[in-house]
Amino acid sequence: MGDEHAGAGRAEPENAELVRLLWGPHPKPTRGPRPKLDLDRIARAAIEIADSEGLAEVSMQRVAAQVGVTKMALYRYVPGKAELVALMVEAAIGPYPAAAEGGVRGDGWRERLEEWARRLIAAFLRHPWTLDATIGPRVPGPGELSWMEHVISALDGTGLTGAERMDAAVLLVSHARGIGQQARAAGPAGRPEAQLGAVLGELMRTHGERFPALTAALASAAGPGGQDQAWEFGLQRILDGLAVLIDQRARHPHDQRER
């Protein structure tokens, strides 16, 4: 999921083929040999490459070899890498799980947003390449949009405007993206805060007198439970801020700011 609000208006004509690939219908080729592939199999093959080697290693040639066809044969299904990456994102992220399971409608908005955010960062961590593939304006698929639908609908009845609900989603996505990027940079060992703390600790041993507040904070963070809390801390503070705003709207509904 990107950090921007979903693009407004109709898709540009040059995106028509991408919209068809993501949203259908998917007519079978009328010429040539009987199809051996489908879009899901192609996307899954590309995901396998990206998961193990990174998005940069995904190419039409590599995917064609993975599924056992020629590169030209693959083009009969997917016109290029941009369309392939869009199919990969849709298959990797998939529809919001609660939508398929029916959801837990008895939960309040905070519980629903918290679960949503945890599911999102889990998806980013399962497929780190999606951090790169979901940046900037692009055409989302129906599965990806079901995530946005869930977070927006979770805030129904809170008094927040539509734009504010979209902004809340952007905040949560941005937090998940930032922590996911740190985790990816930390490598298989994980624990990015601990790694940063170790580097800063070495520097503070020599230069700590110049940065007394930072030195004291690092010493405190070195204690039990002091590290690798950025995800949880940030998530709860975002939800706390939304709770304050929602409470204000409940007490002063006529002060709602139109956006």
CA dihedral over 41, 47, 53, 55, signed as positive or negative: positive
* Percentage with pLDDT > 70 across the chain: 81
* Model pLDDT, residue 100: 47
Fold entry, domain 97-255: Tetracycline Repressor; domain 2 (1.10.357)
Of residues 239 and 209, more confidently modeled: 239
Fold entry, domain 13-93: Arc Repressor Mutant, subunit A (1.10.10)
pLDDT per position as a tens digit, 83-108:
999 999 999 999 998 644 544 455 89
Of residues 82 and 213, more confidently modeled: 82
Q: How far apart are CA 210 and CA 213, in angstroms?
A: 9
The reported pTM is 0.80
Residue 128: pLDDT band (50, 70, 90) is very high
pLDDT per position as a tens digit, 7-54:
444 545 678 999 999 998 876 656 666 667 899 999 999 999 999 999
Of residues 50 and 251, more confidently modeled: 50
Contacts of 242 (CB under 8 A, 6+ apart): 109, 110, 113, 160, 168
Residue 6: pLDDT band (50, 70, 90) is very low
The pair of structure tokens assigned to 118 is 């945890």
pLDDT per position as a tens digit, 175-216:
999 999 999 988 776 666 666 677 888 888 888 888 888 888
* Model pLDDT, residue 88: 98
- The yes-or-no verdict on residue 259 having pLDDT over 50 is no
Q: Which residues of 215-239 are buried (b: 16+ CB within 10 A; e: fewer)?
A: beebeebeeeeebbeebeebbeebb
- The yes-or-no verdict on residue 224 having pLDDT over 70 is no
* Model pLDDT, residue 192: 67
Give domain limits for the chain.
13-93, 97-255
Task: Output the DSSP codes for 45-101.
Answer: HHHHHHHHH-GGG--HHHHHHHHTS-HHHHTTT--SHHHHHHHHHHHHH-S-HHHHH
Is 128 in contact with 180 (CB distance < 8 Å)? Answer: yes
